[in-house]
Structure 1
Amino acid sequence: MIQAGTELPPLTVTLRRENLVRYAGASGDFNPIHWSDRMAAALGLPGVIAHGMLTMASAVRVVTDWIADPADLVEYGVRFTKPVVVPDDDKGATVTFSAKVDKVTKVDQGGLAEIDITAVAGEEKVLGRARAVVRVR
């Protein structure tokens, strides 16, 4: 039974430059800020940054890994607050995702649970108002 206050198991993801290259190929987003230190610096960025949608997709895994059926995810949204800087080394950038059920509402024979997600890279939150809504059976 899903209840308000339930904490989901955390998820840690490491993003390396190779992940950015693969994501660029899959998404078609070849913006040089995702692979060129020179271009990222020219735009005032602290370094090459992960694609926002890659960070967003990684974040929702904390929920889809927890629910019985990923198809029960009915809504998801985030605000991007800080970029995830991915250094050109073997360590990459580590992002830790945690989540907590905020509220559960009854709807007909089931219900909906609203889950708040926190994404932290280094010491900084990189997503704001990250929230998933899942079907409760």
Structure 2
Amino acid sequence: MTVAVGDVLAERSVHLDRESLVRYAGASGDFNPIHYRDDIAAAVGLPGVLAHGMLTMGIAIGTLGEAIGDPARILEYGVRFTRPVVVDPETGADLMVMAKVGAVEDDAFRVDLTVTFAEATVLVKAQVRVRA
């Protein structure tokens, strides 16, 4: 795969609803009630029920995995969580993901993932090193 700095490899929007959170909780085993109970989320000072951070991270890397064709080419992946994704009980939440080439090496390239919710960045330093 030939890439250049600035190439956008993938973009997508993912809609999350409360059912998405329940399904992820079942798959991951993370049944923390801040991910499905408004009263518990409010009691601990959160603005509402939050999407699991690892779900957000997984959606982001999944976007790139599809674009490069073989997810086994992913060598490293790291992020910092900056803002929560609040999943409204009626309207849900829409995540926007963009994967853009940030650097190119001889045998690999770095992809910078931009992940936003409600026009705010929710992951920073979301970088993936991919075997060329």
% of aligned pairs identical?
51
Structure 2 gap ranges (5+): none
Q: SS of the counterpart of 1:99?
A: strand
Give the number of aligned pairs.
131
In the other structure, the counterpart of 1:118 is 114
In the other structure, the counterpart of 1:74 is 75
RMSD: 0.8
Distance 1:60 1:45 in 2: 26
Structure 1 gap ranges (5+): none
After superposition, residues 51-90 of structure 1 pair within 5 angstroms as 51-89=52-90
In the other structure, the counterpart of 1:133 is 129
TM-score for the superposition, normalised by structure 2: 0.96
In the other structure, the counterpart of 1:3 is 4
Q: What is the deviation of 1:68? A: 2.3
Q: What is the deviation of 1:8? A: 1.9
Distance 1:25 1:7 in 2: 33
User: Residue by residue, what CA displacement relative to the aligned partner does 1:74-105 show, whole Å, maximum 9, x if unpaired?
Assistant: 1111000001000111x310000012101111
Moved over 2 A (4+): none
After superposition, residues 26-45 of structure 1 pair within 5 angstroms as 26-45=27-46
* Alignment-mate amino acid for residue 74 of structure 2: L
Distance 2:55 2:122 in 1: 12
In the other structure, the counterpart of 2:102 is 102
Distance 2:64 2:121 in 1: 18
In the other structure, the counterpart of 1:48 is 49
Q: SS of the counterpart of 2:105?
A: strand
In the other structure, the counterpart of 1:92 is 92
TM-score for the superposition, normalised by structure 1: 0.92
